[in-house]
Structure 1
Amino acid sequence: MFIDIEEQTDTPRFQAYLREPWGIGENIEPLFPKAIAEQVVAWMNGITENDDESPICEWSPEGYVLVFVPEMPHEPFAVIQPDDDGLYAFGLGWAWQVEEVFQ
């Protein structure tokens, strides 16, 4: 399936996985393989260039996503590690819009 941010025309669509059961909008926490997670991180960091209130993300040498917020610029607010399937879960609380693709 693909997800993007609701009502944002300039938000790219990202391929994602969702664990069952999943709700709507802010109840969704998408799971991304590393290649897609890298795209999401780059997109998030691009937003931060125009909005200094947004978090910025960095990759650790271990392959974790380190999330920094303006209130804590020198210490990660969150550390996102891949799950056992190598998927990164982040974006909980964002207003995601899901587009299911049936094959």
Structure 2
Amino acid sequence: MNTTDLFDRMAGELAASGAVEEARDGRRTLTLDGAPFARLVDDGAEVYLPDGSAARADALALPAVSEAGGGWLTVTDGDVAAWPVLFEQALAGLRR
């Protein structure tokens, strides 16, 4: 699946939960009340799962996920099946 199409799908699905798409630093970014939690990057996406978040260790155990810095994790287009869960976990993390 094309990553742009998948990001579009995720933005649409998460809109019902309050997610809003914004352009930040030239990137398509999903936010909740102005706080970013997912964004489209060159070869995939990044999700915000900072140290201490319950889902971070599980996410890093996935082969297509790596550290991006500042609490962000990169998930490549090699595992697009993980995107929905990771986006939802990042959104849920902002609600805590």
TM-score by length of 1: 0.34
TM-score by length of 2: 0.36
Whichever structure has more helix as a proportion of its residues is 2
Name the larger-Rg structure: 1
Whichever structure has more strand as a proportion of its residues is 2
Whose relative contact order is higher, 1 or 2, with alpha carbons under 8 Å and at least 6 apart?
1
